[in-house]
């Protein structure tokens, strides 16, 4: 009992320390190369966490989440253009609207996609993403097509430019984690885990599987859409292949698998490891897509060596040590 309380206190202290550190990071290291890396890392922390709500808790592997990411970006870009919002802090106020629109679209997509399971669902999500990419390309009167869509220019200069985006991404990552944490502890979350284990048995014990799957899908897509919209504003110019990018969708999946599928902190760990590594490769080896080789190598190693990801594997290792330690001591005693 005491050890449990000690562990909780330790966790809380650690959490506050990490959060404080992330809050003051721009003050410690204000140069834009660092903050830029931090913006992207936080972005992937949020994306992986959001993806995990559907893929990790509910067990429905979506490879089409890049579609929601791009949809969110386009939604915000079009809103700002139509409403003639100037660059500054005001566009951030429309991020929840972009998220809401993405969630609405996800409800429609999910309504159909979630009639399928397992591999079929994966394929349906990929198809959805490419359909969205094609639409963005061809609805030129709305999206500007291949010519792209511009955002209002943020007025910030120099090292400060990244800071508002850093805090926006941080806020969304924390929001995602809070949502993920509360789902994991709720009766809703228990139902999602049951669906992941065996959907028919879940129905048998009274879990309203259809409604729950759809809810998880919409929550996940809404978070991804909001993050996508901030990304669009950050890069200030988007075109279809760039925001509805399959690689963005694959990255979130890989990060979750690396860190630990279905765990709260696994997606965070995966993002913090992979995204800086990817950016480092991009800086040092130019715009070559060398990081893709790294990604596939990581994917192979994860699947071969620890298919459940870092956090569950380490947890098992600790449990094994603990279980064998008293036995070893007992054996040593005369």
Partner 1 sequence: MPCAAIPLFSMPTWGPDVGVLLELKGLVAGYGAGDILLGIDLAVDEESLTCIVGPNGAGKSTVLRVISGLLRPTRGSVRFRGESIAALSPRSILNRGIVHVPQERSLFPTMTVWENVRLGAYTVRDRGLVERRLAAVAETFPVVKERRHELAASLSGGQQKIVEFARAMMLDPLLLILDEPSMGLDPKTRTTVFNTIRTMNDAGHTVLLVEQNARSGLGIASHGVVMESGRIRLEGTGPDVLGNPEIGRLYLGAA
Which positions lie near partner 1, rule CB under 8 A?
187, 190-191, 193-194, 196-198, 201-202, 204-207
CB nearer to partner 1: pick between 212 and 231 = 212
To partner 1, the closest distance from the beta carbon of 197 in angstroms equals 4
To partner 1, the closest distance from the beta carbon of 132 in angstroms equals 33
To partner 1, the closest distance from the beta carbon of 298 in angstroms equals 24
To partner 1, the closest distance from the beta carbon of 98 in angstroms equals 35
- Assess contact for 334 and 295: CB atoms under 8 A: no
CB nearer to partner 1: pick between 201 and 289 = 201
User: How far is residue 260's CA from residue 129's CA, in Å, rounded to a whole number?
Assistant: 25
Residue 237 three-state SS: strand
CB nearer to partner 1: pick between 116 and 308 = 308
CB nearer to partner 1: pick between 326 and 331 = 326
To partner 1, the closest distance from the beta carbon of 314 in angstroms equals 16
First to last CA, the chain: 30
User: How far is residue 190's CA from residue 177's CA, in Å, rounded to a whole number?
Assistant: 17
CB nearer to partner 1: pick between 72 and 309 = 309
Helices (H), the chain: 2-28, 32-52, 65-82, 90-93, 95-113, 118-138, 140-143, 162-185, 187-197, 199-204, 209-235, 240-243, 246-259, 266-284, 290-305, 310-332
């Amino acid at each position: 009992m005491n050890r449990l309380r000690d562990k909780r206190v330790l966790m809380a202290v650690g959490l506050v320390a990490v959060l404080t550190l992330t809050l003051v990071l721009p003050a410690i290291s204000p140069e834009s190369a660092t903050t830029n890396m931090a913006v992207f890392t936080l972005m992937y922390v949020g994306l992986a966490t959001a993806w995990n709500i559907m893929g990790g808790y509910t067990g429905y592997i979506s490879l089409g989440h890049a579609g929601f990411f791009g949809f969110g970006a386009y939604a915000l870009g079009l809103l700002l253009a139509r409403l003639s919002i100037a660059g500054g802090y005001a566009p951030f106020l429309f991020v929840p609207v972009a998220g809401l629109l993405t969630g609405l679209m996800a409800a429609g997509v999910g309504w159909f996609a979630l009639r399928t399971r397992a591999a079929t669902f994966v394929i349906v999500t990929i198809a959805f993403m490419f359909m969205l990419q094609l639409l963005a390309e061809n609805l030129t009167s709305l999206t500007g097509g291949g010519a792209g869509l511009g955002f209002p220019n943020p007025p910030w200069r120099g090292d400060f430019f990244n800071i508002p985006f850093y805090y926006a991404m941080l806020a969304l990552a924390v929001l995602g984690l809070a949502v993920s944490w509360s789902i994991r502890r709720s009766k809703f979350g228990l139902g999602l885990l049951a669906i992941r284990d065996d959907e028919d048995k879940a129905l048998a014990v009274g879990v309203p599987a259809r409604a729950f799957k759809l809810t998880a899908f919409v929550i996940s897509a809404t978070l991804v859409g909001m993050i996508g919209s901030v990304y669009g504003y950050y890069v200030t110019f988007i075109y279809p292949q760039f925001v509805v990018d399959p690689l963005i969708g694959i990255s979130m999946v890989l990060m979750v698998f690396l860190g630990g599928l279905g765990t709260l902190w696994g997606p965070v760990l995966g993002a913090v490891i992979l995204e800086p590594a990817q950016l480092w490769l991009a800086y040092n080896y130019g715009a070559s897509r060398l990081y893709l080789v790294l990604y596939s190598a990581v994917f192979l190693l994860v699947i071969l060596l620890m298919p459940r990801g870092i956090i569950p594997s380490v947890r098992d290792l600790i449990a094994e040590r603990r279980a064998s330690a008293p036995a070893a001591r007992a054996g040593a005693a005369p």
